[in-house]
Structure 1
């Protein structure tokens, strides 16, 4: 029988401390993903990279993350969540040190891929561990610590790059190497956290040790009730989960929720906005300096509203936050679409004089007096006047000189979009993924869903620049708005509320009999 609230003596400070230590993996994940942005120029010169080599040196982390996604679940199921996280911390430290000391392109890429494997492991196993150790009433908030730390890690990486860029010599080595320090702290800190009590009982049958951990978290009544729930689940005597199990009808609801939320978290364009925020603001007519300043504001908005999500997720619940967030995301993307739809591109003496490249200015001088109603019409004309190299320069550097748009509306829309994502799909997706899988299929399922999420993310970030140049920002943001609306429908129809339920109660609710 579930213990009464008065009999539970929750040790919140201890549980929060454990969760914060484990969630440092999210900080390293965010830092590792963002720190390369400041080092790109230095490594491209030092290693004499072609554009293709630069692209792969940045993107290879994602390939490492996909590999980490695939192996993290099964390995954590066999050797324990804590042990895998210790290895992850070591991988981050090795990657940071080796990439900073690399003397060849091959060395550098291998070092970055090692870091990517750490990224893939951290993003999956840290939420699972926290979900397994957290009491039901705190689980949403504590799992969201991981997303908060990812956001903080990204911001710290940008500030770190800013302060290290002027170091004499090869500053890129310092930018990449500084990550080793928090990685070592994480490695040491993990030895102070207990092993997952659910894993201890299910895998090693160490009930006494699990009871000791659970008692420290919530008192004796909480420990006994939780152990009883875990053992009831074990009494089903199910065999170890296989990949084929994911396609069984009884797990249909769970896999629909997990794959659907993983898909919509990325396909609605969040990483396109984060990675290309300066490009978006420049296309809205901003200068390079103001665009980077606006991008910093985007990052701070993400941080603030992730904190709001942590505050609300165990009060409002997962489904209400998702409905509010996806609705606001759709509105924001429609606002952005509207702003670019009503933009015009004006060529006159004043706008042509702003062009810095004399060759481009001369080639476009006969457009004086013309106005284009859409970016696609503009590009169709410009391509007839410039070769490919000059066209790319026009697209990157000069188009902002000709656009007439409500730039304030674009900024407000992007900030609304990021805020809405930060209270919904950002943290809630990882909370749900850590909650919905039964113990039998958790290892293989979490790996498959994590890999799928990374694959969608990679696809979006690769396609977005092509969409902007080929389809124009109006069509691009209209597509994302339509996908975000589909996310609302998905959440309304398929997402089941898990707030306040134990992991065993969630399993009973979702597994079809």
Structure 2
């Protein structure tokens, strides 16, 4: 392999490692929800706020990302993000109270903006024919991070229940959730160190009129005979807008008539990607599996399957994104997601819940379990009805604490069908709209405003994600899992219709050619 190819893959791999740290940070919280609820005596909205705090943090960061990447450069901004991840991981693991925990998670959310910076940076150093693969590495790293987090949670959970002396000595059994969250520290530190190796973005160097340095960077990642043409294309693209623009001018350009189609595509993708409910499933994986009637330990082990499927299908998406094309992958993936969520809705909607006398007698861990005798042999048509009956009978605290065990006993549900639906949904997302959105974001914006445009639409993605994460526990408690998943499917269907009309193919096009393809047709 030529040196420039090795360099391109090396730099992209290092930058995309931010996706791995993001995945670790995002999914570790999934194993801590029950512990956090008990530790800080949280209700559903407080738990949602704890899990969603990071997503709200990224909203603040994205207001400044455009300025940061243009002012100090993509590389320096990424290094700052890595440092913030490290500080947040330490703060989350050692948080003495709820508000300190919220603050540390919020701080970590500031670093989530590194995903948009990573896609921007990789898109700027990657040759057009490799751009899809290299930018998709971000998504691969995210899902590998997710998988690692689920495995770490499962491993620590098993240690905590093992009764081993060394576990007690280290406090893993009493501070289980702190060990889960603290495991992120080493990965954040490693990424911070590796970012020293990468060069500064050639696009940013051209923006700053450092042409010599830009050429030096390009020589590391593309053939020598293409360097001059690449520099010329960048300069010509900038000349069409009068050179480097202020942040406000770049922001206004996003809403201009020439960018109308680009705006519609980007906004729809930004909302639809997170409106799938992907982060509700990923960040609350054990909670979701408990709704299938699994116990806590089984739910932790099943969550690992989400990580495995994520890795397999993200790699598959990476292998075909530059062959199949962006449009068929996005549209086909969204249809696949709708069908998968529909399967889950059907499975949950047809479930019933009933406790037998034998079920009640087996609940030895529940104090005064005879309180449940009034519910024996009664059938409930939904999880909401059953949970309401438990709350009236046991009181809110005991109903919440023992709901997993009670659902496991009472559920008459087609768990296999729903499990297939959930894993199919994960496969659809991770192989299509998950990674391909980042590929499109790295392609559809002109050089003149991409420093602002990408963070603006990632902001829209993040605010959608924030609402999904924050309100999922409330939806679960008040609407039920089936209705919640149906809501996600309906939202995705609206996005599918819009993108079917407006989305263009950008495969193998230079950034300049993409702009011509997306320009509104003159009447």
Taking structure 2 as the reference length, what is the TM-score of the superposition?
0.87
> Which residue of structure 1 lines up, in the alignment, with residue 149 of structure 2?
157
The whole-number CA distance in structure 1 between the counterparts of 2:96 and 2:389 is 46
> Which residue of structure 2 lines up, in the alignment, with residue 181 of structure 1?
186
Q: Is the 8 A contact 1:197 1:210 kept in 2?
A: yes
Q: Is the 8 A contact 2:48 2:469 kept in 1?
A: no
Segment drifting more, 104-113 vs 489-498: 104-113
CA drift of 1:327 comes to 1.6
Query: Aligned Cα RMSD in Å?
Result: 2.9
Residue in structure 2 matching 1:205, options 186, 203, 209: 209
The whole-number CA distance in structure 2 between the counterparts of 1:503 and 1:492 is 22
Secondary structure of the residue aligned to 2:449 is helix
User: Given the superposition, is the C-alpha separation of residues 50 and 12 from structure 1 closer, same or farther in structure 2, using an over 3 Å criterion?
Assistant: same
Counterparts in 2 of 1:4-403, with a 5 A limit? 11-37=4-30, 49-51=40-42, 58-97=51-90, 99=92, 110-120=103-113, 122-161=114-153, 162-163=155-156, 166=167, 168-171=169-172, 175-201=180-206, 203-238=207-242, 239-242=245-248, 243-356=251-364, 361-379=369-387, 381-382=389-390, 384-393=392-401, 395-403=403-411
The whole-number CA distance in structure 2 between the counterparts of 1:144 and 1:324 is 18
The whole-number CA distance in structure 2 between the counterparts of 1:88 and 1:236 is 32
Secondary structure of the residue aligned to 2:241 is coil
Segment drifting more, 433-442 vs 79-88: 433-442
The whole-number CA distance in structure 2 between the counterparts of 1:223 and 1:167 is 60
1:427 aligns with 2:435: yes
The whole-number CA distance in structure 1 between the counterparts of 2:354 and 2:513 is 61
Structure 2 unaligned segments of length 5 or more: list them. Answer: 161-166
Secondary structure of the residue aligned to 1:11 is helix
Structure 1 unaligned segments of length 5 or more: list them. Answer: 1-8
The whole-number CA distance in structure 1 between the counterparts of 2:179 and 2:415 is 36
Secondary structure of the residue aligned to 1:315 is helix
The whole-number CA distance in structure 1 between the counterparts of 2:182 and 2:389 is 47
Give the length in aligned residue pairs: 501
Counterparts in 2 of 1:406-445, with a 5 A limit? 406-445=414-453
Secondary structure of the residue aligned to 1:345 is strand
User: Can you list the C-alpha shifts for 1:147-199, whole angstroms capped at 9, x where unaligned?
Assistant: 11112222223444535863734556665455343333323322222211121
CA drift of 1:62 comes to 2.5
User: Given the superposition, is the C-alpha separation of residues 474 and 250 from structure 1 closer, same or farther in structure 2, using an over 3 Å criterion?
Assistant: same
The whole-number CA distance in structure 1 between the counterparts of 2:385 and 2:96 is 47
The whole-number CA distance in structure 2 between the counterparts of 1:469 and 1:110 is 26
User: Given the superposition, is the C-alpha separation of residues 35 and 392 from structure 1 closer, same or farther in structure 2, using an over 3 Å criterion?
Assistant: closer
CA drift of 1:99 comes to 4.9
Q: Is the 8 A contact 1:240 1:441 kept in 2?
A: no
Q: Is the 8 A contact 1:267 1:456 kept in 2?
A: yes
Segment drifting more, 161-170 vs 180-189: 161-170
Segment drifting more, 102-111 vs 425-434: 102-111
Segment drifting more, 215-224 vs 125-134: 215-224
Residue in structure 2 matching 1:471, options 479, 488, 491: 479
Q: Is the 8 A contact 1:133 1:196 kept in 2?
A: yes
User: Given the superposition, is the C-alpha separation of residues 65 and 371 from structure 1 closer, same or farther in structure 2, using an over 3 Å criterion?
Assistant: same
Secondary structure of the residue aligned to 2:353 is strand
User: Given the superposition, is the C-alpha separation of residues 395 and 185 from structure 1 closer, same or farther in structure 2, using an over 3 Å criterion?
Assistant: closer
Secondary structure of the residue aligned to 1:13 is helix
Q: Is the 8 A contact 2:445 2:453 kept in 1?
A: yes
Secondary structure of the residue aligned to 1:252 is helix
Q: Is the 8 A contact 1:73 1:125 kept in 2?
A: no
CA drift of 1:417 comes to 0.6
User: Given the superposition, is the C-alpha separation of residues 323 and 58 from structure 1 closer, same or farther in structure 2, using an over 3 Å criterion?
Assistant: closer
Segment drifting more, 249-258 vs 122-131: 249-258
User: Can you list the C-alpha shifts for 1:414-436, whole angstroms capped at 9, x where unaligned?
Assistant: 11110001111211111212221
User: Given the superposition, is the C-alpha separation of residues 18 and 205 from structure 1 closer, same or farther in structure 2, using an over 3 Å criterion?
Assistant: same
